[in-house]
Amino acid sequence: MSGLKSWREIPIGCKTTSPGSTVRIKTGTWRDFRPVVNWEKCTKCMLCYIYCPDGTIFPESSYVDYDHCKGCGICAKECPVKVITMVEEVI
Ligand code: SF4
Ligand code: SF4
């Protein structure tokens, strides 16, 4: 317990004091579903890139950053040609 901060040490509003730190934290471990893209049928319209709240899908390079994608499914919902499937993660 000695390494934990008390509530008095936490910034008011729990604001982030080290922006950009999430690059070092693999937030993708929170994910229950992963977006699987059929890149062969992707039209490169970039809508998933625009809508993704985490900036973790890159149609130009046919790449999803699974270390940081949280599996929200917004990309699959917004893809106009429905080439993204949300697949349950298996632990
Ligand atoms: S599931 Fe959510 S976080 Fe992951 S790539 Fe799609 S929009 Fe981004
Ligand atoms: S929204 Fe769908 S078609 Fe458009 S770039 Fe993303 S995966 Fe490809």
Q: Look up residue 42 and give its two tokens.
A: 């992707």
Distance (angstroms) between ligand 1 centre and the Cα of 73 equals: 6
- 10 pLDDT higher than 90: no
Distance (angstroms) between ligand 1 centre and the Cα of 1 equals: 35
Give me the pLDDT at residue 30, please: 87
Nearest CA to ligand 1 atom 7: 52
Give me the pLDDT at residue 69, please: 96
Digit-coded pLDDT (tens) for 20-73: 777 788 889 889 999 999 999 999 999 999 999 999 999 999 999 999 999 999
Say if strands 33-37 and 84-88 run parallel, antiparallel, or are unpaired.
antiparallel
Give me the pLDDT at residue 1, please: 54
Nearest CA to ligand 1 atom 6: 75
- 83 pLDDT higher than 90: yes
Nearest CA to ligand 1 atom 3: 69
The better pLDDT of the pair 79, 90 is held by 79
Sign of CA dihedral 63, 47, 80, 32: positive
